[in-house]
Amino acid sequence: MEEEVDGIINLWKEISKFFDEIRRIPEYKNLADENIIEIIQLKVLI
């Protein structure tokens, strides 16, 4: 069980880094996580 929890925590840290990297792009700087997710979903569908 502890390994699963550690895995989830590590995954969450990686996701947080991902959003931080996206926010370094000027046009995405002030977007909420939900807005970034919507943009990614739209780009994947294209």
For the chain, the structural domain boundaries read: 2-45
Q: How confident is the model at residue 45 (pLDDT cuts 50, 70, 90)?
A: confident
Q: Is 13's pLDDT higher than 90?
A: yes
Report helix, strand and coil shares of the chain as percent, to nearest 5.
85, 0, 15
CA 36 and chain centroid, separation = 8
Q: Is 12's pLDDT higher than 80?
A: yes
Q: Is 46's pLDDT higher than 90?
A: no
Identify whether the C-beta of residue 25 lies closer than 8 Å to the C-beta of residue 35.
no
Q: Is 28's pLDDT higher than 80?
A: yes
Instruction: Please state, rounded to an integer, the average pLDDT across all residues of the chain.
Output: 93
